[in-house]
Amino acid sequence: MTKKNILTAAVSLSLVACLSIGATLAYFTDKSDTMTNVFTTGKVDMTLIDETEDPKGQYTFDENGVQNGILYTGVVPGDDLDKRVSVLTRDGSSNAHVGIVVTVGNTTDPSEQEVYKLIDEAVARQEKVDGDKWLDVQDVNVYDGENIVPGKLYAYNPEYPGWEQGVPANTLMRLFSDIKIPTAWDNDEAEAVFDIKVQAYALQAENTAPSLLKSAIEGTLKDDNGDRVEFQQYGD
């Protein structure tokens, strides 16, 4: 082997030796502590209260024994009937836009307009007592998943002091406490039957405007997927 070949072989062996040593070295490393990010969703939770202590009123119940209304019998002109309708946002509920929809049915005499007038007057009396302010009545077409039912929406005022971000939990909001039967009713209203139905609705206040409550009730509010936002009962 010539000197030149010996020198080349020595260099090659040297390179292999260096590579072998380099392959056994670790990288400089470090890692942080693990941080677990937990996301807990809120809820909107409220209940409708419909009660009476009037001797002419009797609670009615569905086939499961759940109260579903009050039946008033023997009503005469001049009666001031005890009927307390309110909505309560429950403990732990997120702030919400809250409203009560009133629908009137099964009536000819008195007319629907006359019955709605009784309700408006009852709401005005309650506002005067509580100092609360319900928004102006809004005509609403309630979408129940199948049908459209006309009614009136009484939405709680988002401008009430401290409630700019919606109604907080543990808040009781009274709609009315009595229904006064006009003394002007006469034989035209004899043996009359009419229904006043009330249903409460709540929509999360965060990321929504108060006006969207009506849109959701009417079934025109859509989510990001283009699906209709429908009300579902939370809890019992």
Q: Is residue 156 part of a domain?
A: yes
Q: Is residue 158 part of a domain?
A: yes
Predicted pLDDT at 41: 77
Tokens of 81: 């009937």
**Range of 101's domain?**
46-218
DSSP letters of 144-213? -SS-EEEEEEEEBPTTSTT-TT-BPSSEEEEEEEEEEPPTT--GGGTT---EEEEEEEEEE-TTS-TTHH
Q: Is residue 172 part of a domain?
A: yes
Q: What is the pLDDT along the chain (236 residues), one digit of tens a residue?
A: 555 554 444 445 454 554 444 555 568 777 778 888 888 778 999 999 999 999 999 999 999 998 899 999 999 999 999 999 999 999 999 999 999 999 998 887 899 999 999 999 999 999 899 877 777 679 999 887 778 889 999 998 777 777 778 999 999 999 999 999 999 999 988 888 899 999 999 999 999 998 999 999 998 999 999 998 888 887 66
Question: What residues form DSSP beta bridges with 84?
Answer: 51
Task: Provide the number of structural domains found in the chain.
Answer: 1
Q: Is residue 10 part of a domain?
A: no
